[in-house]
Amino acid sequence: NAGVTQTPKFQVLKTGQSMTLQCAQDMNHEYMSWYRQDPGMGLRLIHYSVGAGITDQGEVPNGYNVSRSTTEDFPLRLLSAAPSQTSVYFCASSSDWNTEAFFGQGTRLTVV
């Protein structure tokens, strides 16, 4: 029972590079979200999706894109990495907004 799987676990990027953080869940959850965690700031919502083909912006969407072509996958794309995007990124899924969210192990991203 894999739950929510994020890849990679660690990544170092140079300023201006692009990359995609992968997130996959095997629980058939409709709701998926991306958060970033920064020291002293808790988790902040970047983008979320309420089902395949439906995405929306969260609190801090600038510099990130998402798509949801399948129920299972919700990749997060960094278009042109900046040092301010150095953070730990978490993907989460749930069957509904009032149910338990399952989190991936996180991706620690450093932009130099």
Partner 1 sequence: AQSVAQPEDQVNVAEGNPLTVKCTYSVSGNPYLFWYVQYPNRGLQFLLKYITGDNLVKGSYGFEAEFNKSQTSFHLKKPSALVSDSALYFCAVRDTTGGGADGLTFGKGTHLIIQP
Residue in 11, 17, 58, 73 binding partner 1, rule: CB under 8 A:
58
* 109: its two tokens: 């991203």
Q: Binders of partner 1 among 35-54, rule CB under 8 A?
A: 35, 40-45, 48, 50
**Contact between 89 and partner 1 per CB under 8 A:** no
Instruction: Give the nearest distance from C-beta 82 to partner 1 in angstroms.
Output: 23
Q: Binders of partner 1 among 6-35, rule CB under 8 A?
A: 33, 35
| Secondary structure (DSSP) of 80-94 | S--GGG-EEEEEEEE
